[in-house]
């Protein structure tokens, strides 16, 4: 009973409190509160004092946060930067035919030895450099940022998805956060990213993770929830522990969905990498931006095509692997 | 001591089951509870005892609570009130570790839609229970191979479940359940998803296996013919309540209420009733009218479908004998006509 009353009253109380706070903190409030009664003009135009000082709170909070915890972000920054640089150096040092051969080999085995897909992806990879030689290094730069970003997505996303599938309360708490992450414009978190990590690849990775992790979390959760209840019951009836159930039954059966999530994650990460070029991330997006600034349609299109080719390569690799698992789970009759 | 004893089990589904308990205990019906509180009564004061080595069939229509009941035995579902004793141990008192151990060692389950693992091969599926028990791989595959042979699926070991037909899949389910050598086998509508021919074949296979293995089997079905064919005892559930428990003959001859009557109305009685049940006892039978030349001897466990032609064809009398060959009673066309008449 008391709980019910509390829920009825908390929201109005918080709302009134916010009104009072905004009135008190406003610089443009009327001289006295009595004026509101005598002069009703504030009813026609949105009054200037009726304004939550959210901007000020966030800026102040962020400043304190940055001063206090900046040191930790520097550690993260150094670590991520190190990871990207070493991956990039490794890929750039390799002769380009070797890289193409490597990609072809990966596709061949992950797709379950499908020749058509393999040849197609090989040609796409070749065409990235073929479009313009400098795209090759740029594409590798972009790919290294993405690989690190996707790895972080997997490390965060899959366990989170599993936890959500196990716990309904957690799911209800996380879902709105995922919605927020997907709808909030990327520039909003690019700015704090720059302030915490400086310009360059690291804020791009952070932005990529924020933008690309929700589909992976959702699809992991969905994949596990969709596993046939009777199959789960069968595992339970044989005395499988939670761990045995998860590793032996739920995850393998959710894998096609999880792979779809990783595929979505990859595509979104690629979209983000282009936007991130605006905060000084080098790579293919950087070329598009340059073309835009110089009104060079050809240049922008060339770079855009290169991005599409890269997208195709990455998409085929992740899709083919997911398809292979799905075929194993549901063999043709 | 019974193998499985279920005492006054209640199960209520909904947000606040404990609050609804007094109402259900006072005898409110399933519909009443649903209407007034939005809770579903799954089981309403069910008590049963199941003996070692028998097939106990639990029968009822959809929503009668039979699947809920079977899941209480291995505690896939926790009861709202009441206790379930297996080997005299209260299943509900076991903690998380003990319950896993109990499920591994004591019982296994066969499912309506088979519940096979689509990502595992047949042999891996059959060996799953042993895998959970951490039996080394070569050993568990050896045992699984034996079970696959027992259900007649040799040659399919390395296929995936989706490549098999329904009947074959359920054989895998059966083999998987038997591979851990459990004391108790729970079968949840195990043959309901199969077509009639395959179903009857599977029923025969189960009867054959049971003759060898002598497990305690709890079998759930909505098919009366199936329950009469398999069951040593039958329990009939309606709306979460246990309406009648008894031997197949009891159910046919003395249905407890209209619900059971409606069930047994269309049963082929000659396939269920045995000579022993319908005969007139030796001491009450007037032997003078019997013509010895047209008297045939039949074992008391014979189904009367085997007797009917003899009696009808040449008006003969059946002498019913027990295992030792002693005459225990007689059957003539009079007994037959009474036994085969439908209850109104």
Q: Are residues B53 and B115 in the same domain?
A: yes
Asked if the Cβ–Cβ distance from B119 to A237 is below 8 Å, we say no
* Contacts of residue A182, Cβ cutoff 8 Å, sequence gap at least 6: A211, A214
Query: In chain B, which residues have their Cβ closer than 8 Å to the Cβ of A330?
Result: 118, 162
Q: Are residues A81 and A192 in the same domain?
A: yes
Query: Domain limits at B158?
Result: 4-267
- A180 and chain B in contact, CB less than 8 A: no
For residue A137, the number of C-alpha atoms closer than 13 Å in the C-beta half-sphere is 7
A143 closest CA partner among A183, A99, A176: A99
Q: Are residues A187 and A281 in the same domain?
A: yes
> CA-to-CA distance for B249 and B105, rounded, in angstroms?
34
To the nearest whole Å, the CA of A240 is away from the closest chain B CA by: 6
B189 closest CA partner among B125, B247, B113: B113
Asked if the Cβ–Cβ distance from A234 to B74 is below 8 Å, we say no
For residue B114, the number of C-alpha atoms closer than 13 Å in the C-beta half-sphere is 21
Asked if the Cβ–Cβ distance from B76 to A236 is below 8 Å, we say yes
Asked if the Cβ–Cβ distance from A230 to B111 is below 8 Å, we say yes
Q: Which two tokens stand for residue B158?
A: 């390395």
Q: Are residues A179 and A305 in the same domain?
A: yes
Starting at the edge strand found earlier in the chain, the sheet holding B81-86 runs B40-50, B4-13, B81-86, B89-90
B214 closest CA partner among B176, B182, B174: B182
> CA-to-CA distance for A153 and A150, rounded, in angstroms?
5
- A239 and chain B in contact, CB less than 8 A: yes
Mutate to test the interface with A, among B107, B115, B181, B189 (most CBs of A within 10 A): B115
- A168 and chain B in contact, CB less than 8 A: no
B58 closest CA partner among B287, B232, B178, B196: B232
Q: Are residues A113 and A13 in the same domain?
A: no
Q: What angle do CA B339, B318, B329 make, to 5 degrees?
A: 75
| Boundary residue ending a domain (B221, B240, B267) | B267
Q: Are residues A36 and A89 in the same domain?
A: no
> CA-to-CA distance for A201 and A281, rounded, in angstroms?
5
**Could you give the number of structural domains in chain A?**
2
Asked if the Cβ–Cβ distance from A235 to B128 is below 8 Å, we say yes
> CA-to-CA distance for A313 and B144, rounded, in angstroms?
43
Q: Do residues A84 and A145 touch, judged by C-beta distance below 8 A?
A: yes
Q: Which two tokens stand for residue B31?
A: 């519909």
Out of A230, A240, A241, the one facing B115 most closely (by C-beta) is A230
Q: Do residues A224 and A171 touch, judged by C-beta distance below 8 A?
A: no
Q: Going by DSSP bridges, is the β-strand pair B81-86/B89-90 parallel, antiparallel, or unpaired? A: antiparallel
Q: Would you mind telling me the total number of residues written for chain A in this entry? A: 333
* Among B residues 96-135, those touching chain A with beta carbons less than 8 Å apart: 99-105, 107-109, 111-119, 128-129, 131-133
Asked if the Cβ–Cβ distance from B115 to A328 is below 8 Å, we say no
To the nearest whole Å, the CA of B101 is away from the closest chain A CA by: 7
Q: Are residues B180 and B49 in the same domain?
A: yes
Query: In chain B, which residues have their Cβ closer than 8 Å to the Cβ of A256?
Result: none
DSSP letter at A282 equals -
Q: Going by DSSP bridges, is the β-strand pair B241-246/B89-90 parallel, antiparallel, or unpaired? A: unpaired
Out of A239, A248, A329, the one facing B100 most closely (by C-beta) is A239
Residue A55 within a domain: no
Q: Are residues A74 and A32 in the same domain?
A: no
Q: Are residues B320 and B198 in the same domain?
A: no
Global confidence as pTM: 0.82
- B162 and chain A in contact, CB less than 8 A: yes
Out of A231, A239, A331, the one facing B117 most closely (by C-beta) is A231
Q: Which two tokens stand for residue B6?
A: 């279920």
CA A47 to chain centre: 38
Q: Are residues B261 and B279 in the same domain?
A: no
Q: Are residues A15 and A129 in the same domain?
A: no
| Boundary residue ending a domain (B267, B292, B323) | B267
Asked if the Cβ–Cβ distance from A236 to B128 is below 8 Å, we say no
* Among B residues 231-250, those touching chain A with beta carbons less than 8 Å apart: none
pLDDT per residue rounded down to tens, chain B (344 residues):
788 999 999 999 988 888 888 888 888 888 888 888 888 888 988 999 999 999 999 998 888 889 999 999 989 999 999 999 999 989 888 898 999 999 998 999 999 989 999 989 999 999 999 999 999 999 999 999 999 998 889 999 999 998 898 889 999 999 999 999 999 999 998 898 888 888 998 899 899 889 988 999 999 999 888 988 899 999 999 888 899 999 988 888 888 888 888 888 878 788 788 888 888 887 777 777 777 777 788 888 888 888 888 788 777 788 888 888 788 888 888 778 877 776 54
Q: Are residues B257 and B280 in the same domain?
A: no
Say what angle helices A297-329 and A133-166 make with each other, to 10 degrees: 40
Asked if the Cβ–Cβ distance from B115 to A233 is below 8 Å, we say yes
Q: Are residues B294 and B176 in the same domain?
A: no
Out of A233, A240, A331, the one facing B160 most closely (by C-beta) is A331
Query: In chain A, which residues have their Cβ closer than 8 Å to the Cβ of B101?
Result: 239
CATH number at residue B306: 3.90.1280.20
Q: Are residues B238 and B315 in the same domain?
A: no
Residue A323 within a domain: yes
| Boundary residue ending a domain (B267, B292, B322) | B267
In chain A, whose CA is at the least distance from the CA of B173?
A234
Asked if the Cβ–Cβ distance from A252 to B119 is below 8 Å, we say yes
Query: In chain B, which residues have their Cβ closer than 8 Å to the Cβ of A329?
Result: 118-119, 160, 162
Q: Do residues B148 and B184 touch, judged by C-beta distance below 8 A?
A: no
Query: In chain B, which residues have their Cβ closer than 8 Å to the Cβ of A253?
Result: 117-119
In chain A, whose CA is at the least distance from the CA of B74?
A237
pLDDT of A333 reads 44
> CA-to-CA distance for B33 and B13, rounded, in angstroms?
11
> CA-to-CA distance for B159 and B120, rounded, in angstroms?
9
CATH number at residue B64: 3.40.50.300
Residue A132 within a domain: yes
* Contacts of residue B199, Cβ cutoff 8 Å, sequence gap at least 6: B191, B192, B226
Q: Are residues B29 and B178 in the same domain?
A: yes
Out of B115, B160, B180, the one facing A234 most closely (by C-beta) is B115
Asked if the Cβ–Cβ distance from B103 to A328 is below 8 Å, we say no
* Contacts of residue B153, Cβ cutoff 8 Å, sequence gap at least 6: B122, B168, B171, B172, B175
Residue A62 within a domain: no
pLDDT per residue rounded down to tens, chain A (333 residues):
677 778 788 888 988 888 888 888 877 777 777 877 888 887 888 888 888 888 888 899 988 988 888 888 889 889 999 999 999 999 888 899 999 999 999 999 888 888 888 999 999 999 998 988 889 999 999 999 999 999 999 999 999 999 999 999 999 999 999 999 888 888 888 888 888 888 888 888 988 899 999 999 999 999 999 999 999 999 999 999 999 999 999 999 999 899 999 999 999 988 888 888 888 888 888 888 899 899 999 988 999 999 999 999 988 888 888 787 777 666 544
Would residue B45 be called left, alpha or beta, if left means φ above 0 and alpha means ψ between -120 and 50 degrees? left
- Residues forming a β-bridge with B41: B12
Residue A49 within a domain: no
Q: Are residues B236 and B162 in the same domain?
A: yes
Q: Do residues B154 and B112 touch, judged by C-beta distance below 8 A?
A: no
Q: Are residues B59 and B150 in the same domain?
A: yes
Q: Are residues A253 and A174 in the same domain?
A: yes
Out of B76, B128, B162, the one facing A233 most closely (by C-beta) is B76
Q: Are residues A204 and A255 in the same domain?
A: yes
pLDDT of B343 reads 57
Query: In chain A, which residues have their Cβ closer than 8 Å to the Cβ of B129?
Result: 238-239
Asked if the Cβ–Cβ distance from A237 to B113 is below 8 Å, we say no
Q: Are residues A188 and A269 in the same domain?
A: yes
pLDDT of B84 reads 92
Q: How many CB atoms lie within 10 A of CB B320?
A: 26
Q: What angle do CA A284, A288, A290 make, to 5 degrees?
A: 110
- Per DSSP, chain B holds a count of helices (H) and strands (E) of 15, 14
Q: Are residues B117 and B151 in the same domain?
A: yes
**Could you give the number of structural domains in chain B?**
2
Out of B71, B102, B109, the one facing A234 most closely (by C-beta) is B109
Q: Are residues A118 and A173 in the same domain?
A: yes
Residue A59 within a domain: no
Q: Are residues B82 and B231 in the same domain?
A: yes
Residue A201 within a domain: yes
pLDDT of A331 reads 52
Would residue A90 be called left, alpha or beta, if left means φ above 0 and alpha means ψ between -120 and 50 degrees? alpha
* Contacts of residue A74, Cβ cutoff 8 Å, sequence gap at least 6: none
In chain B, whose CA is at the least distance from the CA of A324?
B119
* Contacts of residue B194, Cβ cutoff 8 Å, sequence gap at least 6: B166, B167, B170, B202
In chain B, whose CA is at the least distance from the CA of A251?
B119
Q: Are residues A37 and A78 in the same domain?
A: no
Query: Domain limits at A8?
Result: 2-43
In which element (H, E) is residue B67 found? helix B66-73
* Contacts of residue B79, Cβ cutoff 8 Å, sequence gap at least 6: B9, B10, B11, B43, B72, B92
Residue A61 within a domain: no
* Among A residues 248-267, those touching chain B with beta carbons less than 8 Å apart: 248-249, 252-253
> CA-to-CA distance for A91 and A129, rounded, in angstroms?
14
Q: Do residues B45 and B8 touch, judged by C-beta distance below 8 A?
A: yes
């Amino acid at each position: 009973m008391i709980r019910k009353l509390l829920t009825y009253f908390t929201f109005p109380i918080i709302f009134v409190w916010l009104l009072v706070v905004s009135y008190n903190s406003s610089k443009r409030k009327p001289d006295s509160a009595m004026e509101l009664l005598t002069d009703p003009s504030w009813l026609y135009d949105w009054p200037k004092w009726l304004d939550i000082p959210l901007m000020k709170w966030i800026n102040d909070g962020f400043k304190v946060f940055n001063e206090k915890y900046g040191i930790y972000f520097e550690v993260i920054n150094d670590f991520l930067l190190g990871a990207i640089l070493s991956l990039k150096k490794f890929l750039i040092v390799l002769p380009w035919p070797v890289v193409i051969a490597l990609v072809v080999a990966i596709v061949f085995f992950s797709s379950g030895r499908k020749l058509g897909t393999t040849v197609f992806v090989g040609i796409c990879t070749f065409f990235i450099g073929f479009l313009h030689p400098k795209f090759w290094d740029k594409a590798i730069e972009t790919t290294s940022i993405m690989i690190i970003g996707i790895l972080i997505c997997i490390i965060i996303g899959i366990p989170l998805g599993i936890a959500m599938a196990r716990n309904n309360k957690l799911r209800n708490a996380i879902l709105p956060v995922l919605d927020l992450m997907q709808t909030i414009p990327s520039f909003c978190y690019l700015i704090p990213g720059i302030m915490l990590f400086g310009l360059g690849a690291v804020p791009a990775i952070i932005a990529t993770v924020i933008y690309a992790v929700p589909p992976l979390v959702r699809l992991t959760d969905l994949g596990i929830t969709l596993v046939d209840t009777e199959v789960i019951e069968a595992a339970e009836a044989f005395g499988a522990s939670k761990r045995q159930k998860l590793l032996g039954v739920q995850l393998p059966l959710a894998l096609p969905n999880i792979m779809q999530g990783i595929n979505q994650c990859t595509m979104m990460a690629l979209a983000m990498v282009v936007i991130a070029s605006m905060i000084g991330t080098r790579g293919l997006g950087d070329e598009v931006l340059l073309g835009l600034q110089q009104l060079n349609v050809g240049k922008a299109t060339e770079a855009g095509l290169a991005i599409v080719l890269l997208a195709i390569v990455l998409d085929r690799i992740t899709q083919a692997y997911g398809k292979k698992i799905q075929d194993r789970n549901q063999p043709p009759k | 001591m019974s193998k499985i004893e279920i005492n006054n089990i209640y199960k209520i589904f909904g947000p606040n089951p404990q609050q609804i308990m007094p109402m259900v205990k006072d005898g409110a019906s399933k519909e009443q509870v649903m209407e007034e509180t939005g809770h579903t009564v799954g089981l309403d004061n069910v008590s049963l005892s199941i003996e070692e080595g028998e097939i106990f069939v639990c029968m009822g229509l959809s929503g009668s609570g039979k699947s809920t009941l079977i899941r209480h035995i291995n505690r896939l579902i926790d009861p709202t009130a009441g206790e379930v004793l297996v080997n005299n141990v209260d299943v509900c008192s076991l903690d998380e570790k003990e319950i896993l151990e109990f499920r591994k060692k004591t019982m296994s389950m066969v499912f309506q839609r088979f519940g096979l693992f689509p990502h595992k091969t047949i042999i891996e599926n059959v060996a799953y229970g042993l895998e959970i028990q951490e039996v080394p791989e070569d050993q568990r595959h050896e045992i699984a191979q034996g079970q696959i042979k027992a259900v007649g699926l040799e040659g399919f070991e390395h296929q995936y479940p989706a490549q098999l037909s329904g009947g074959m899949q359920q054989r895998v389910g059966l083999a998987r359940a038997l591979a851990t050598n459990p004391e108790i086998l729970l079968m949840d509508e195990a043959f309901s998803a199969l077509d009639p021919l395959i179903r009857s074949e599977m029923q025969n296979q189960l009867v054959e296996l049971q003759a060898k293995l002598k497990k305690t089997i709890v079998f759930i079905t909505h098919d009366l013919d199936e329950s009469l064919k398999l069951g040593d005892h039958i329990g009939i559930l309606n709306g979460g309540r246990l309406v009648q428990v008894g031997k197949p003959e009891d159910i046919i001859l003395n249905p407890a209420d209209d619900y059971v009557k409606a069930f047994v109305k269309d049963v082929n009685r000659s396939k269920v009733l045995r000579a022993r049940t319908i005969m007139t006892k030796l001491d009450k039978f007037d032997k003078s009218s019997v013509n010895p030349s047209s008297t045939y001897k039949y074992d008391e466990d014979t189904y009367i479908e085997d007797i009917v032609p003899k009696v009808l064809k040449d008006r003969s009398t059946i002498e019913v004998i027990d295992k030792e060959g002693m005459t225990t009673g007689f059957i003539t066309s009079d007994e037959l006509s009474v036994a085969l008449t439908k209850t109104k």
